[in-house]
Structure 1
């Protein structure tokens, strides 16, 4: 039986850079999830009889919302729902399934790297038929619909068994429960030299992969240990938990400090890595060296040809504007296109679909390629392993040689989390108000060359995205960038990105915060961070 249920709109269902994210109790309000799901369906056309992919990162409330999605997909006329067993699908695996099955699209239930649990975060985002996040035009339509929605459609079908694989019929629609790992693992085998990786582990190469009790645990266990022969225990915290074991599933040096400490210790493994809640981010640490996401992007691009899937070379490289310029010099040397986009993986989609870029990356630990339309944490780890296997060098040696060739970009991100929204907005408004007067002035002994509010002109569809982050560039190539993040659920997060380019190898390998000290002071002088926020230090430094 299909029911049409009367409802009233919620005013706060505007999707951010990665869908709608709120605290679990917000999603548990009457009709809240149903309103948003129906708003998504109402904003789409032509899906009758088509396939919808559904899955999530296993966080609290994941299973309940998947049941709602299936029941509403029946009522709205989809022909098939493909769902990961246990409700599990990493974000890159979901993107792959959408593409492989030629699905109409997919709903991914995740709040990415944010904490999980009864009072923590939950999220829903829609991915289009190319496997990538919905573009702004689509998310704007979803938000507009959510503000006027008066009813949603749902079928009374009872609970679907998500734990048993197979295909069965529910309310006239087929539901296919699939192993979440199989299709993704097969894709990885087409990109990387699994024989070389098996030989690497057989040689005694030691690795630690921390899945952070999040979605990549089953993927790492299957691929690294079972298929590649890494020692049992290589994949740690590999069982996905609804609250991520009470930890914050963000693969950075704060929340994965135990991994960093181990990799800096006297008996460190050869290679360390971690991934986040939904599997699209990565942390890379070699023995004795942390490799920043910006540097990792550049080094993966410079060495990608060593993996079978990329031996023909790259078509181009894309990075988000706050990401360091390290990859720019790789693109220049390779003679390929370099694209600077706003933050948010959806901006890479057009470049990938148009064949203009092959590898993309963001400073926030997201790296990926044209194999899917999402960033992909485990993919980045496997490409690093492929490079290590072929070059026969340590990660630390590869980094040193890369810097000697291209120069080093000292780079850091300072996050001020849960700043009162009005104070954060006041800081940004004041900074925008003085942009025109900054060029030619000096701060902390450094002369400002230019300052602007970054706008992106999409080279594929001609769309323009404004107000994507405030850039202050100094003479000599240093810069600071200020941006309010759209991935949190309470207050605002002010992100400050600090970068200095150092071409002299004699000055490489210094402590990053020390190398950036004058720029860090300059950032506060320019934006008045302390005076606006009352904070005397960042919440997180990466």
Structure 2
């Protein structure tokens, strides 16, 4: 095992630059063996087990997918090969196909040269931390020269499923009234040259909408390249150019969503959560009148929802953390400002296309535009900086940082906050500053950025 990395799993599976440790076919092979062993040991059924595997459009995804599949087959577990599908589709179909687990080969919103392994539980949710630890332990103990294992007819088999996109689309359709129609609506969509490039536009068209797809021709290296939810200015331009009623921007694996209203104004995860929470509340579908968000959400979201009698629970960053609270507290809605939205009654993981459909159903049934729906949220001025770094020193070991942050926090008089954390998937540190006064946000942010550049360069 590579000595420079203590833990394989980050905030969302295993991720790194493809064909460099830890994102190598060797690790993917070991991960397949480990996942088959661990998930089988936690399954009570004595029937023959299966794992579903999907991938995004990256050049390296097939390489890693086939290595992982080989590991699974070597343990006598079958594989349902799903092909190119969004991450949430893999999660949902894990449950539909009664598999013991699922895997998505994707690095989400990262550039094409990165890749990752995202694991799903039998119920379609992200694999919990304890099972990840067991899989990681098996990977690190993998016997590269081992010769023992199932033989003959006991080896696993591959079933290449042909209609997975249709199955996913039909599953999403089952959540909405059969008479739902988007006829007359104009929708622009940016699929980031990623895993949603087929499923998303065709599903919207099936509801009668006029669809204008962008970034829909993946070639293995253009996923997320100047497109998708990480480049929302593109969907703004597309909406204004096409006269669309709504713009949808997804990331490479389809679990992240940014919307654009008919005026070209963006709607992030906080806007979407506010709209959904108020709609669910009206329909008596908001379990315990509670929404789960992360520490990154705008303080204005708390104030907006609390005025309507809605309680807000905050978690650490990561949609898996949100999902765990939703499951534990038996709640129905949560998500992240970044655009990972989990309508838990429908999906156990973030699903960009599903969330867009819920918003479209609200617009269609009420006749209210997205620009009007988003007016309820009253934001605090907020800014997020992403600083590339060469090292990740423990924050509490950086001399002078705590003092500087405490001094800055005191100037907010209880009406602002500073959040500083390392990215779990990239070599970056993220700084969020939020306050009632926008000038104060910029002043505090620049002062902290200057300090961080000197300390972490």
TM more than 0.5: yes
Post-superposition offset of 1:493: 0.9
Deviation per CA, 1:236-295, whole angstroms, max 9, x where unpaired? 23344322368155513xx24222234456x64221111011100011111221123222
Q: Secondary structure at the match of 2:161?
A: strand
Higher strand share: 1
Report how many aligned residue pairs link the two structures.
445
Distance across 1 between alignment mates of 2:147 and 2:333: 40
Asked whether the equivalents of residues 319 and 360 of structure 1 are also in contact (C-alpha less than 8 Å), the reply is yes
Corresponding residue for 1:109? Answer: 105
Corresponding residue for 1:63? Answer: 62
Alignment of 1:328 onto 2:275: no
Distance across 2 between alignment mates of 1:113 and 1:71: 27
Alignment of 1:190 onto 2:186: no
Asked whether the equivalents of residues 480 and 519 of structure 1 are also in contact (C-alpha less than 8 Å), the reply is no
Aligned residue among 125, 128, 135 for 1:135: 128
Distance across 2 between alignment mates of 1:258 and 1:129: 37
Corresponding residue for 1:494? Answer: 429
Instruction: Tell me how large the CA RMSD over aligned residues is.
Output: 3.1
Change (3 A) 1:224 1:21: same
Change (3 A) 1:145 1:183: same
Change (3 A) 1:228 1:480: same
Alignment of 1:412 onto 2:395: no
Aligned residue among 14, 20, 42 for 2:14: 20
Distance across 1 between alignment mates of 2:88 and 2:115: 18
Q: Structure 2 unaligned runs (5+)? A: none
TM-score (norm 1): 0.74
Asked whether the equivalents of residues 301 and 327 of structure 1 are also in contact (C-alpha less than 8 Å), the reply is no
Alignment of 1:123 onto 2:116: yes
Asked whether the equivalents of residues 71 and 155 of structure 1 are also in contact (C-alpha less than 8 Å), the reply is no
Post-superposition offset of 1:340: 0.9
Distance across 1 between alignment mates of 2:36 and 2:2: 15
Aligned residue among 397, 414, 420 for 1:429: 397
Post-superposition offset of 1:333: 4.4
Corresponding residue for 1:518? Answer: 440
Q: Secondary structure at the match of 1:272?
A: strand
Q: Secondary structure at the match of 2:229?
A: coil
Distance across 2 between alignment mates of 1:260 and 1:341: 30
TM-score (norm 2): 0.86
Post-superposition offset of 1:363: 1.7
Corresponding residue for 1:148? Answer: 141
Comparing 237-246 with 277-286, greater Cα deviation is found at 237-246
Change (3 A) 1:207 1:428: farther
Asked whether the equivalents of residues 324 and 409 of structure 1 are also in contact (C-alpha less than 8 Å), the reply is yes
1:138-287 matches, within 5 Å, as 138-151=131-144, 171=155, 173=157, 175-193=159-177, 195-198=179-182, 201-202=183-184, 205-225=185-205, 227-231=206-210, 233-244=211-222, 247-248=225-226, 250-252=228-230, 255-263=231-239, 268-287=243-262
Distance across 2 between alignment mates of 1:93 and 1:246: 19
1:327-346 matches, within 5 Å, as 327-329=301-303, 331-346=305-320
Distance across 2 between alignment mates of 1:178 and 1:220: 17
1:436-475 matches, within 5 Å, as 441=407, 443=408, 447-448=410-411, 474-475=412-413
